[in-house]
Amino acid sequence: MTKNRLEAFSDGVIAIIITIMVLELKTPHGINFERSCHCVLYS
């Protein structure tokens, strides 16, 4: 396997792992989206 193919394969594996990790994130209960955006944008 050439270096370019190995690099592309490892990039793909990392992308899949990161995608799975992001999909597993849970949003906290009781947080108002509008209040959160206001605090982030105007602080």
C-alpha pair distances (Å), 41 with each of 6, 20, 36: 41, 28, 9
Q: What's the whole-model pTM score? A: 0.55
The pLDDT of residue 43 is above 60: no
Domain tally, the chain: 1
For residue 24, the number of C-alpha atoms closer than 13 Å in the C-beta half-sphere is 6
Q: What is the pLDDT of residues 10-37, one digit of tens each?
A: 999 999 999 999 888 776 666 666 666 6
Per-residue tokens: 19: 């995608």
- Enclosing domain of residue 18: 3-41
Rounded CA separation 18/36 (Å):
24
DSSP letter for each residue of 19-43: HHHHHT--PPTT--HHHHHHHHH--
